[in-house]
Amino acid sequence: MSTPTTTKPDLTTPSGLHAYLLTHHPTTPPKSITLLTGGTANYVYRVLSPHPNNASPKTVIYKHAAPHLHSNLDFAFDPRRMEYEDLALRIVPGFLDDVGSDTDSADRKAHAADEEEEGMSVRARAVQSYSYDGDAKLLCLSDGGSQNVKDAYQDLKKGEVRKIGEELGRWLAVLHSSSSASSPSLSLSLDEKHEMNDVGSRGRENNPIAVAIYRYSYTNLHHALAEYDIPGGQEVAQRVDETFGALLQIEDECLCHGDFWTGNVLVEKKANRATDAGKVGNPQTRIDLTVVDWEMVRLGTSATDVAQSAPKPSCSIDSAAVKGCGLRSWRPTCATGSLLRLKQGC
């Protein structure tokens, strides 16, 4: 008698995710599952489920990596990218929490005083990972809201845009400065990665998927130049790839997000309760920023994270406020070489 085969749920559909959740969490079946739009690589869902303690329902995000793009089924894309996002979300919060806990620093005190005076607090953080199923390539994440900073510009005041830029620059500077000896290597244990960060080891493994994606623009520059029949374009493209593209293979200043721009920062604007607003340490408005999409995390130069976000204004309010304030917050802690690379336009 043959053993019946079990078909794995198709996680590229809401019904498939529903079947998966019923199997893995039978006591808390989802109330609703919504496939989110806007991304190109992965299948992302917002799931409304009963709270584990049977209190009010809560939403979480499920993110699945298929062996192809969500937007183009014919474009193969290594699903191991989700392994790197899971890794990043386990090691990065530790770096940021350690630095952010220094509440006695003069900068932090000045920052808190400014928030109290302006009646507004802004905090950035990496999205929280609740669980990861490596076989299914499925992450369960915290829900940072339904709007990203890029789309929220039209609803934000200029003062809020400025504060968001300052906070993102500060957050990015902390990520870069505190991960100078980290590694996105899947072959090391979590303890080994933290140990490496303590002793400053080199010769670290990188995320080959992210490096290949990031270098795509360099290796294919000759196609773009050929399209416009630019004299000497092929030689220029080759020199750019050999000079700057090759650096992506060896640069290891710090851990880079790899896809850092306002479209990957979720924003939630909340008003403090009337009984709390106005009290010391309780500004009237709180803006939470959640940095998502970490599968392109890699070793590199910090300037590439900044440069990637800078060319993408696409907003109705002057985005120079975000870029300018962000750069001022990031610059004091960045490496000299990063500033040079930024000036070179990388």
Closest CA to 346 of 246, 254, 200: 246
Query: What size, in residues, is the chain?
Result: 346
pLDDT at 320: 46
Spatial distance between the Cα atoms of 323 and 306, rounded to a whole number of angstroms: 9
pLDDT in tens, 160-175: 988 898 899 889 989 9
Band (198; pLDDT cuts 50, 70, 90): very low
Its pTM stands at: 0.81
In a 13 Å sphere around the CA of 200, the CA atoms on its Cβ side amount to 4
User: Which tokens in the block code for residue 159?
Assistant: 């003062």
Can you list the alpha helix ranges (DSSP code H) found in the chain?
14-24, 81-100, 106-118, 149-152, 158-178, 190-199, 208-219, 221-227, 233-243, 302-309, 320-330, 336-343
| Residues in contact with 185: Cβ distance below 8 Å, sequence separation at least 6, in sequence order | 193, 204, 205, 206
Sheet holding 58-64, edge to edge: 32-35, 43-49, 58-64, 138-142, 129-133
pLDDT at 220: 94
Q: Are 139 and 127 in contact (CB under 8 A)?
A: no
pLDDT in tens, 113-171: 566 556 888 999 999 999 999 999 999 999 999 999 999 988 888 889 888 988 998 89
Do the strands 298-300 and 254-256 form a parallel or antiparallel pair, or are they unpaired?
Answer: antiparallel
pLDDT in tens, 4-54: 556 889 999 999 999 999 999 888 889 999 999 878 999 999 999 876 555
Least confident of 187-191, 227-231, 237-241, 332-336: 332-336
Least confident of 25-29, 154-158, 178-182, 200-204: 200-204
Nearest-10 crossing angle of helices 208-219, 233-243: 150
Nearest-10 crossing angle of helices 158-178, 302-309: 160
pLDDT at 282: 57
- Based on the number of CB atoms within 10 Å of its own CB, is 76 exposed (0-12), middle (13-18) or buried (19 or more)? exposed
Spatial distance between the Cα atoms of 312 and 158, rounded to a whole number of angstroms: 18
How many CB atoms within 10 Å of residue 290? 21
Instruction: Write the DSSP symbol of residue 291.
Output: E
In a 13 Å sphere around the CA of 71, the CA atoms on its Cβ side amount to 6
- ∠ CA 82-83-84, rounded to 5°: 90
